[in-house]
Structure 1
Amino acid sequence: MRLISDNCPYSLNCYSLQLAHAVPGEKAHNFLPSIESKIGFSSLSTSSPDSEPKEQRHRSSTSKQSPMAAFSASTTTAYLASFASSNQPSSPLKPFQLPLIWPWQKVKMGPMTVSPMGFGTWAWGNQLLWGYDQSMDADLQRIFNLAVGNGINLFDTADSYGTGKLNGQSEKLLGKFIREYPGKARDDIVIATKFAAYPWRLTPGQFVKACKGSLERLQIEQLGIGQLHWSTANYAPPQELALWDGLVAMYEQGLVRAVGVSNYGPKQLVKVHDYLKTRGVPLCSAQVQFSLLSMGEEQMEIKEVCDSLGVRLIAYSPLGLGMLTGKYTSSQLPVGPRGLLFGQILPGLQPLLKVLSKIATKRRKTIPQVAINWCICKGTIPIPGVKTVRQAEENLGALGWRLSLEEQIELEYAASSSPRKMIQNVFQTR
């Protein structure tokens, strides 16, 4: 038997158990104490070790066993016992890996239980901004399988995601990946899709038709969350009520398990919540741009309103379209429209990026992992976008730990000192 420690910065503090030889009979159980001490289950706590006094950590490790340790111990015992009971010749086994997301780390969102982070699929079909090409589909499927295999069950999409003839491509790809996923975990997947408030969608029936179109592209019978992509209150107030009634209709017809909104400001968010409540439909979620680059007074007010109403806030663009990755500089900008935006904001981001880098080094994490974890610490569900397997692996490393309060304050102070902030979505209302 040998223990392999996984120190990859893109993973959690997880370890793999690999058995090289069969362990006969009851001897398998005798290995458990030494295995537990070498693995160090207590280090897998979701809180930071640095945030607990040394005496408290000592007491907790000697007086009682944490739920995670108990779960891990029983899992390891079962694994060793089942291996030892086999009379077959020894053969190579897949490494035994602890779950990336433990059951008690899932969060409630309306009637559903979801992972503390989801994956956004805006780039899956978008050629203009993200350079999508259909040759990327195989990699996108590997990303999906990796995410689901590591406990991610929330995927955000929209009926408008996709460029030109590829409109709806994101939903089609998700549907294909769900059908072809080799495991029972697909039964727990929650798809949150958004319906565009196009000017020709003027009646509740047209909005219901849009929902059915998404279900057809996804080839599923019911959506997790049906979301209104944006409010029309700023430019077409009469259309707004019809869209709200559309959410009610799709909920009453059982096409969605829950309903949500996107790009709603604090005042309009209260209005839609109260209206849906009179119709007997609970508002499950509100999705807005939320990150260290989008933490102004209005965004924080939206978070406060969500908390007071019992609505879960979904944070899109938690990495500021890539500006919070540390990958770009004023002299090294992305191609396309993003380059113009980055050129205006990046020059003033050095203080924030410096703090992100300092904390990442201390935590043995990466800058994107720290930025995403900040969103989680603020009580949101971030949905970073992914285009490559490497990005997916890195994003997963944002889970299983938490920034200290001092680190959060330091990041927020650096962010507030930046001369330029992220441009808010033009469709976001007050």
Structure 2
Amino acid sequence: MVTATRSLGRTDLKITPIGLGCMQFAGAGLVARLFYPPLEQPAVTEIVDAALRAGTGWFDTAEMYGRGRSERALTTALRDLGVAPGQVPIATKWTPGLRTAGSIVRTIDDRLAALQGHPIALHQIHLPYGSFSSLTAQLTAMARLAHEHKITAIGVSNFSARQLELAHAVLARHDLVLASNQVQISLLHRDVERNGVLDLARRLGITLIAYSPLRSGLLTGRFHDQQARSGLLPFRRLAGGFDERTLRRTAPLIEELITIGRAHGASPSQVALAWLITFYGETVVAIPGASKPSQATQAAEAMSLDLSADELSRLDQLSRSAAA
């Protein structure tokens, strides 16, 4: 059975196994619009409300998501819902592209302003490349913010095993721990098992935060219906992996998600999320997005879904074929 909360790495922060990814709150920008419908503030507030009511205990956003628009939309929703600053953890990220490590310190007040009084529980380096400064310099800047109590914990995103080991060592020199690494993990994306990231995370006590845990909606099962596919734009089909070959290869996995879901009174997406936060033990948590309140509710309710060892194993085996 999934526990109510987990420690974020080896920090004192407690988070639920499922949080809410907030890229869809960006409101503008090419990437966000390709994958999510634009959301007005009332819709954002409804989604955040649904997530909280269903048990979601934290939120993940980023500077890159609309240049602060996602951060501001999230915290506006929290304010309107009467959630006090610090009541729920918020994770955000610094964008390294064409910047130096010094901008981590210089832009922290911008991040705090966008979060409108809500503290930064977890500050993450969004990518391991693109900066004019070394990873060591970037992590040293993050350490400075932690020691100045402007952030609580430090994380990274899309780091390899080698880069994780470096990050861990740099922070250790400042008497700090690396809390997390945000990477893509799902039943259809299991690279962390082969590239050393999962093994290293377990050894060092680093939480892996799984983004795209439903593989851009592919694991919901709704795109395996021919009529549903016909409404997809060509770019959305291909960029999301919805080409005919992929849909045929993943069909047995989707059918098993549906079968297991029926046995539990759950949707395929809930089964996929429950598998993800259970199969890897407490090392992996997930941050599905939601563009409707019902999606936020369903995602949070997946935390109470208790899959049997046999169900976990069947999905594991089918996943290995589907992810090929």
Same fold by TM (over 0.5)?
A: yes
Amino acid at match of 1:172: R
Aligned to 1:318: 213
Rate the CA distance shift 1:183–1:122 in 2: closer, same or farther, 3 A: closer
Aligned to 1:289: 184
Rate the CA distance shift 1:236–1:211 in 2: closer, same or farther, 3 A: closer
- TM-score, normalised by the number of residues in structure 2: 0.88
- Identity in percent: 28
Contact 1:161–1:168, Cα closer than 8 Å, also in 2: yes
Contact 2:100–2:131, Cα closer than 8 Å, also in 1: no
Amino acid at match of 2:263: K
Per-residue Cα deviation, 1:152-186 (whole angstroms, up to 9, x for no partner): 22100010102xxxx321101012112222356x6
Amino acid at match of 1:129: L
Per-residue Cα deviation, 1:18-75 (whole angstroms, up to 9, x for no partner): xxxxxxxxxxxxxxxxxxxxxxxxxxxx47xxxxxxxxxxxxxxxxxxxxxxxxxxxx
1:195 counterpart = 2:114 = no
Please, which of 106, 110, 122 is the counterpart of residue 23 of structure 2?
122
> Structure 1: 5+ residue runs without aligned partners?
1-45, 48-103, 422-430
Q: Which has the higher contact order (CA 8 A, sep 6+)?
A: 2
Please, which of 72, 77, 101 is the counterpart of residue 177 of structure 1?
77
3-state SS in 2 of match to 1:321: coil
Aligned to 1:32: none
Rate the CA distance shift 1:298–1:236 in 2: closer, same or farther, 3 A: farther
Rate the CA distance shift 1:188–1:299 in 2: closer, same or farther, 3 A: farther
1:153 counterpart = 2:95 = no
Per-residue Cα deviation, 1:131-153 (whole angstroms, up to 9, x for no partner): 4425x321220111122233322
RMSD of equivalent CA atoms: 2.1
Contact 2:58–2:88, Cα closer than 8 Å, also in 1: yes
Q: CA deviation at 1:301?
A: 3.0
Rate the CA distance shift 1:121–1:249 in 2: closer, same or farther, 3 A: same
> Structure 2: 5+ residue runs without aligned partners?
none
Contact 1:289–1:316, Cα closer than 8 Å, also in 2: yes
1:267 counterpart = 2:136 = no
Amino acid at match of 1:338: R
Rate the CA distance shift 1:150–1:301 in 2: closer, same or farther, 3 A: same
1:252 counterpart = 2:147 = yes
3-state SS in 2 of match to 1:320: coil
After the TM superposition, which residues 311-390 of structure 1 pair with which residues of structure 2 at under 5 Å, given as runs? 311-329=206-224, 331=226, 332-333=228-229, 334-335=232-233, 337-341=235-239, 342-344=241-243, 345-377=246-278, 378=280, 379=282, 380-390=284-294
- TM-score, normalised by the number of residues in structure 1: 0.67
Aligned to 1:113: 14
1:216 counterpart = 2:113 = yes
Rate the CA distance shift 1:404–1:311 in 2: closer, same or farther, 3 A: same
Contact 2:20–2:289, Cα closer than 8 Å, also in 1: yes
Please, which of 192, 209, 231 is the counterpart of residue 128 of structure 2?
231
1:241 counterpart = 2:136 = yes
Amino acid at match of 1:303: L
Per-residue Cα deviation, 1:278-303 (whole angstroms, up to 9, x for no partner): 12121111111011011136467322
3-state SS in 1 of match to 2:217: helix
Larger Rg: 1
CA distance in 1, matches of 2:140, 2:96: 13
Contact 2:75–2:118, Cα closer than 8 Å, also in 1: no
